[in-house]
């Protein structure tokens, strides 16, 4: 499906730019498909064929997408590794993927590979002739592959901070369903867009086909994401749609250059990949000249819920919206029993986009799926009377204070409204009397006095039960983030335990 889409996009959009980099390398749709053909032949010469795994350990450069499509043209499976992971974490993902070939930069190469894996080291190019030069076989293309919607195309590894990496497998039929949900049968209409997350993530991997169908231009930068640079690119390229995890949107709003940057081109803001507080939603609406929507899913589900640009304003503030077309939303108890609307339990998502299963980890599949084929997200939530999904936090993040369950996300949503709070996370600390206590980790807003614990408790006392109010306060200049740009709660737990 992906290979055919790339070829059709080349026919339709030809010399139009598909990718542009921060070094101003521009690759047209025709060049993109031709390069993918040439790389596919080079990969085949290394022994890669249908069903083999090609691992990509690359920054956000065109080489990543080209190699991904090249592998698809051979019927091979791409396993992308987030370059933000430390070497030990990257090595663990590679061992789980068990690739035949690893395409990586010299900087990201690993010496801890599965026996039999080959390493192809590439240097991100600044001109088209040098793109994947060592793998390309100029003027050649692989034989066409019979269509098979059940043929695996990609393995997307979950972004957990501990434990054995697990890779969700997506075949052509899942990617086709996601593409139909995003763009339908329509070709064209795309403008400039910017990659806000590592290309190894679910979105870039499963939405590439849809982006190719749009015929737009995607901006890629090998440099670490920075709010100031993102704002500059939005203004320079007149980007119309701004997407990212809530943390990235919050950082852009906090950047000193925000108010002086011309963001008049932005028409839509879409936040996903993590929870957004009502305070952040309101601030984004007030300061960005754009319609706003939120999305919710998990790696294994492919797609999930969301709000639309025409939904009532409060929907994005209090919920993550309703199931997208074709998605089945359910809430189950710890025993797996289906819960009625209004009761809090684990959020489960089912649709044709759900992964086939975990790569080489069948033992984990039994815990991942419900009896009806939905995936367990690990998130807690409830369905309100309007059919909207309201999240309460991760099931493992819930703590028990004096016999009462406390969900950090609920407390964070209230404290984020405090005028002196720029960012907040709630973590628990063991207590010999209460069992666990809640600690508010706060980043103060610049230019004013930092909040104190008593002030935070007074502020939240009319919206939260007393047992939910924080018992302690820690002030930081910034919250630690994972490689997926989400709050690193494990790092915060270690910090709190050490104080």
pLDDT digits (tens, 9 = 90+) for 306-326: 999 999 999 999 999 999 999
Does residue 99 share a domain with residue 201? yes
Q: Name the burial class of residue 147, with classes exposed (0-12), middle (13-18) and buried (19+) by CB atoms within 10 angstroms of its CB.
A: exposed
pLDDT the model gives residue 486: 80
| CATH code of 462's domain | 3.30.300.30
Does residue 279 share a domain with residue 183? no
Does residue 180 share a domain with residue 32? yes
pLDDT the model gives residue 70: 98
Does residue 309 share a domain with residue 410? no
- What average pLDDT does range 78-100 have in this prediction? 90
Does residue 364 share a domain with residue 343? yes
Whole-angstrom distance, CA of residue 81 vs CA of residue 39: 19
Does residue 325 share a domain with residue 282? no
Mean pLDDT: which of 78-87, 168-177, 426-435, 479-488 is highest? 168-177
Across 161-170, 430-439, 480-489, least confident range? 161-170
- On the question of pLDDT at 110 being above 80, the answer is no
| CATH code of 214's domain | 3.40.50.12780
Does residue 251 share a domain with residue 212? no
With bands split at pLDDT 50, 70 and 90, how would you rate the model's confidence at 161? very low
- On the question of pLDDT at 400 being above 90, the answer is no
Q: Which domain holds residue 158?
A: 2-224
pLDDT, tens digit (0-9, with 9 covering 90-100), for 193-229: 987 778 999 999 999 999 999 999 999 999 888 999 9
Q: Name the burial class of residue 313, with classes exposed (0-12), middle (13-18) and buried (19+) by CB atoms within 10 angstroms of its CB.
A: exposed
Does residue 141 share a domain with residue 208? yes
| CATH code of 267's domain | 3.40.50.980
Does residue 284 share a domain with residue 304? no
What is the domain count for the chain? 4
> Among the three residues 363, 394, 425, which one is the final residue of a domain in this structure?
394
Cα–Cα distances (Å) from 276 to 158, 282, 356, 416, in that order, read 20, 10, 29, 10
The fraction of the chain above a pLDDT of 70, given in percent, is: 98
Does residue 122 share a domain with residue 206? yes
pLDDT the model gives residue 160: 47
pLDDT the model gives residue 125: 94
pTM: 0.85
Does residue 169 share a domain with residue 26? yes
pLDDT the model gives residue 163: 57
- On the question of pLDDT at 87 being above 90, the answer is no
| CATH code of 381's domain | 2.30.38.10
Considering all CA atoms of the chain, what is the largest pairwise distance in Å, rounded to the nearest integer? 73
- On the question of pLDDT at 397 being above 80, the answer is no
With bands split at pLDDT 50, 70 and 90, how would you rate the model's confidence at 289? confident
Does residue 265 share a domain with residue 349? no
């Amino acid at each position: 499906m992906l290979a055919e889409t790339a070829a059709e996009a080349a026919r339709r959009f030809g010399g139009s730019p598909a990718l542009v980099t921060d070094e101003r390398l521009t690759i047209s749709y025709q060049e993109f498909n031709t390069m993918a053909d040439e790389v596919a032949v080079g990969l085949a010469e290394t022994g890669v064929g249908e069903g083999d795994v090609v691992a990509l350990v690359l920054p956000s450069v065109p080489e990543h997408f080209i190699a991904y499509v090249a592998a698809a043209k051979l019927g091979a499976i791409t396993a992308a590794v987030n370059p933000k992971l430390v070497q030990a974490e990257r090595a663990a993902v590679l061992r789980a993927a068990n690739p035949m070939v690893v395409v990586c930069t010299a900087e990201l190469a690993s010496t801890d590979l599965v026996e039999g894996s080959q390493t192809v080291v590439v240097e991100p190019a600044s001109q088209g002739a040098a793109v994947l030069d060592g793998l390309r076989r100029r003027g050649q293309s692989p034989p066409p592959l019979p269509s098979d919607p059940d043929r695996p195309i990609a393995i997307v590894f979950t972004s957990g901070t501990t434990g054995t990496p697990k890779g969700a497998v997506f075949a052509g039929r899942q990617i086709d369903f996601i593409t139909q949900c995003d763009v339908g049968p329509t070709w064209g209409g795309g403008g400039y867009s910017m990659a806000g997350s590592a290309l190894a993530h679910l979105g870039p991997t499963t939405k590439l086909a849809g982006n190719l169908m749009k015929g737009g231009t995607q901006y890629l930068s090998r440099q670490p994401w920075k709010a100031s640079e993102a704002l500059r690119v939005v203004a320079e390229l007149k980007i119309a749609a701004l997407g990212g995890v809530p943390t990235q949107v919050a950082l852009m709003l906090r950047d000193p250059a925000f108010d002086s940057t011309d963001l008049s081109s932005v028409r839509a803001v879409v936040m996903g990949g993590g929870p957004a507080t009502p305070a952040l939603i309101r601030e984004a609406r007030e300061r960005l000249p754009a319609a706003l929507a939120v999305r919710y899913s998990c790696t294994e589900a492919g797609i999930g819920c969301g709000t639309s640009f025409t939904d009532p304003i409060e929907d994005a503030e209090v919920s993550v919206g309703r199931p997208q077309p074709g998605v089945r939303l359910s809430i189950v108890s710890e025993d797996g029993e289906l819960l009625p609307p209004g009761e809090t339990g684990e959020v489960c998502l089912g649709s044709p986009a759900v992964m086939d299963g975990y790569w080489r980890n069948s033992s984990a599949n039994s815990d991942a799926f419900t009896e009806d084929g939905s995936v367990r997200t690990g998130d807690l939530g409830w369905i309100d009377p309007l059919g909207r999904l309201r999240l309460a936090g991760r099931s493992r993040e819930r703590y028990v204070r004096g016999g009462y369950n406390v969900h950090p996300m609920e407390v964070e949503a209230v404290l984020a409204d405090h005028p002196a709070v720029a960012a907040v996370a709630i973590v628990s600390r063991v207590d010999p009397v209460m069992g666990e206590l809640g600690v508010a980790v706060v980043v103060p807003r610049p230019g004013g006095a930092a909040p104190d614990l008593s002030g935070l408790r007074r502020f939240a006392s009319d919206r939260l039960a007393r047992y939910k109010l924080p018992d302690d306060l820690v002030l930081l200049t910034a919250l630690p983030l994972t490689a997926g740009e989400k709050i690193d709660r494990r790092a915060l737990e270690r910090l709190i335990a050490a104080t």
